[in-house]
Chains A and B, each alone.
Chain A
Amino acid sequence: MTLFVEQCLNGLQFGLLLFLLAAGLTLVFGIMDLVNLAHGSLYMLGAYFAATFTAWTGSFVFGAVLAIAATLLVGMAVEVIAMRRLYGRDHLDHVLGTFGLILFFDELVRLIWGPGGRSLAVPPWLNHSVAILPGIEYPAYRLAIIVVTLAVAAFLYVLVMRTRIGMLIRAGASNREMVGALGVNIKLLYTLIFGLGAALAGLAGLMQAPILTVQIGMGENILILAFVITVIGGIGSIRGAFVAALLVGFIDTMGRSFFPQLLGDLLGRQAASTAAPALSSMLIYILMAAILVVKPQGLFPAGSR
């Protein structure tokens, strides 16, 4: 029972973290119609920035704030220098161009930070466990991630649904020519949206950093998961991304922790312990394939485009 609650919370935490990545992807997808493979690189940069800035300032919070600002700036720079030229082109061009950016960023990180990984310690004031239910303890840091990501999700909801910028974002998603014709500075809007997506990716990266090690290529695996989420949820739909992210987070976490037992009864312990992680990873892709076969536009198709 303890394990089950714990794993539920882990699934929730991982799902919410994935949502941060997927939200940026789906915004950029939905509004600029851009497939951005380099999103994982921004996640990686967020983690590296946080490791460095935390070491400089000596405070995790300051480090995190600086890291988010830095990824925001990098994202906006990438948009102005490279992405802007890719809008309106073939998806193939997006895939190739941003694939090139991945190579560039991986190498750049290796040049600046060296080939070895970095580690970022959990801040001392979060390095303890909290009793969430009588008898069930849960690490405070993971709980903090849940709180922060939920706050960000709420912020995104308010931003997109209740503010003028959000109105423009939604308008841009349904008809960008018209928004431009009405006198909105669409270029600036796109740069801001891309920067916002980058900052969200950076936030996800820096929060994940104390749990995993900070290393080159850390963005590549999780990027594909984020893509799976945007596709399951329906490209361009933030609500869809939220639902799909939780779904994927739960399935992945539950698969990893309970598949070995289930399989153990079928295959024997030895085989199960090696096969379970692979099978639970496959489970997500099977889920995605199944959903796309039934609903080729994802669970929450956004708009008519």
Chain B
Amino acid sequence: MTGALTLRNLTIAALVLVLALLPLYVALTGDRFMLTLFTRIVILAMAAVSLNLILGYAGLMSFGHAAYLGIGGYTVAILCFEGVPSAFVQWPAALATSALFALIVGALSLRTRGVYFIMITLAFAQMAYYLASGTARYGGDDGLSLESRSGFAGLINLSNKTTFYYVCLVLLFASIVLVWRLTNSRFGMVLQGVRSNEARMRAIGFPTFRYKLAGFVIAGTMCGLAGALIANHTDFVSPAMMFWTRSGDLIVMVVLGGMGTLFGPVFGALALLFLEQFLPAAISAVVHPFDPASAARAGEFWQIVLGPLLLVVVLFARGGIDGLLGALSDRIQRARKGGHG
């Protein structure tokens, strides 16, 4: 990424600005719903950023990333349930449990590759899912409600929606900066080398397993923090947040936004949740002129559009949104150069 004023960089700047100023818009219009929606987008974007570190940069196709959302969330909810409401205990515990889980899963699954790796990460996530639905004390299948949000000893009040939004946003930016620093470090270079050719990386003397495992644990830990946030956001955790389709959603976000790019996952999370939120209304609007009676119902079937859309993105737009922006900026730049020369 260069510092030039390309379309891509302008879009990223606009996105950051929109995210930062959203509470202002909400305060002016009183549209509380947008704040809830964007808090969710920001949290899931953080999970997608963490997945991107291993999926996009290291090429590790983990299909169980939602497990860390659940583990982080459950750690917070269980501590709250057991009478430990302090965030100074809850959040480090959430980080520690997800790091530990990632270490175990990574140590076992990184021995395999290809489809086997996809399936074994999936299997571990399913284990976490069934473990959560089997523990009757913490609600089992029905999930567990949080009596109160994580407390910061009066310093930060997470029950204030605007404050909570900014906490999430700061953590999202922090994780993007972390990924940026990591990927430009020697460590990140090795990870990206593993993505292109692991055998060669090993041949020139890098113990690739250790690098991959470290990346896997960092990604899991970051996602665990996102899980702690999402538990605070919804005041509720349930096994459903770890079901394999949720992991699929995270992968969709990363790929839709653009794999192995810094802001791609944020675009992806934004795009997927916006589609989820507004596609139904859009479908209703399209159907309305033809068949007003069933227009409202037609909106319910938005996934019938989303599914093939995913297939189209996979087939024709591998770079995702970030790739499209990059291609557009290149074209504009070339056109401008052509005009001068």
Find out whether the CB atom of B134 lies under 8 angstroms from the CB atom of A224: no
A-B contact pairs, 30 of them (CB 8 A): A29-B115, A85-B315, A92-B251, A96-B314, A100-B314, A101-B307, A103-B304, A103-B310, A106-B303, A107-B302, A110-B300, A111-B304, A224-B122, A270-B136, A274-B134, A275-B134, A275-B135, A278-B133, A278-B135, A281-B126, A282-B130, A285-B126, A288-B120, A288-B123, A289-B108, A289-B109, A289-B124, A289-B127, A292-B116, A293-B111
- Contact partner of A95 (CB less than 8 A), chosen from B135, B248, B300, B301, is B248
> Is there contact, CB below 8 Å, between A103 and B303?
yes
Most chain B CB neighbours (cut-off 10 Å) among A37, A102, A292: A292
In-complex Cβ contact of B310 among A97, A107, A298 (8 A): A97
Known: A91-B114, A110-B301, A111-B301. A96 touches B127 (CB 8 A): no
Q: How far is the CA of A100 from the CA of B115 in the complex (A)?
A: 18
Considering only residues 251-286 of chain A, those with a C-beta below 8 Å from chain B are 270-271, 274-279, 281-282, 285-286
Interface string of B243-275 (1 = CB under 8 A from A): 011001001100100000000000000000000
By a CB distance below 8 angstroms, the chain B residues around A97 are 310-311, 314-315
Contact B119–A228 (Cβ < 8 Å): yes
Measured between beta carbons, the chain B residues less than 8 angstroms from A285 are 123-124, 126-127, 130
Whether A274 contacts B303 by the Cβ 8 Å rule is no
> Which applies to chain A's interface (DSSP): helix, strand, loop or mixed?
helix
Contact residues in A for B252 (Cβ distance below 8 Å): 96, 99
Measured CA separation A91–B251 after assembly (Å): 12
Question: Does the CB pair B133–A103 fall under 8 Å?
Answer: no
Nearest 7 pairs between A and B by C-beta? Answer: A278-B134, A104-B307, A100-B310, A103-B307, A107-B304, A274-B136, A100-B307
A108 to B26, CA, bound (A): 37
Interface residue ranges, A against B (CB under 8 Å): 29, 35, 37, 82, 85-86, 91-93, 95-97, 99-108, 110-111, 220, 224, 227-228, 231, 235, 270-271, 274-279, 281-282, 285-286, 288-289, 292-293, 296-298
Which residue of the partner chain, among A95, A103, A276, A282, contacts B118 with CB atoms under 8 Å?
A95
Not counting A97-B311, A285-B130, A289-B109, a sample of 11 additional A-B residue pairs whose C-beta atoms are within 8 angstroms of each other reads A91-B118, A92-B251, A95-B251, A99-B251, A103-B304, A111-B301, A275-B136, A281-B130, A285-B123, A292-B112, A292-B120
Give the chain A neighbours of B108 by CB distance below 8 A. 289, 292-293
Report the minimum CB–CB distance from A116 to chain B (whole Å): 14
B131 contacts partner chain A, Cβ-Cβ < 8 Å: yes
Least Cβ–Cβ distance between A277 and chain B, in angstroms:
7
B328 at the interface (CB under 8 A from A): no
Query: Is B314 touching A296 in the complex (CB atoms < 8 A)?
Result: no
B213 at interface (Cβ–Cβ under 8 A)? no
Do B116 and A231 touch (CB < 8 A)?
A: yes
- Give the residue among A224, A278, A286 with the most B Cβ atoms within 10 A: A278
Among B41-63, those with CB < 8 Å from A are 55, 61, 63
Who on chain A is nearest to B104 by CB? Answer: A289
Bound form: Cα–Cα A288–B130 in Å: 15
- Residues of B close to A101: CB separation below 8 A: 307, 311
B193 CB–A CB distance under 8 Å = no
Q: Which residues of A contact B309 (CB under 8 A)?
A: 100
- B310 cross-chain contacts in A, Cβ below 8 A: 96-97, 99-100, 103
Cβ-defined contact, B119 with A231, below 8 A: yes
Rounded to whole angstroms, the CA-CA distance of A285 and B130 in the bound complex is 10
Tell me the chain B residues, 214-254 only, with Cβ under 8 Å from chain A. 244-245, 248, 251-252
- Given A104-B307, A285-B126, answer yes or no on A279-B119 (Cβ-Cβ < 8 Å): no
Contact A277 B134 (CB under 8 A): yes
Chain A residues closer than 8 Å to B189, beta-carbon distance: none
Interface pair A35/B248, CB less than 8 Å apart: no
Given A91-B115, A275-B134: A107 in contact with B301 (beta carbons within 8 A): yes
Distance A277 CA – B129 CA, assembled complex (angstroms): 12
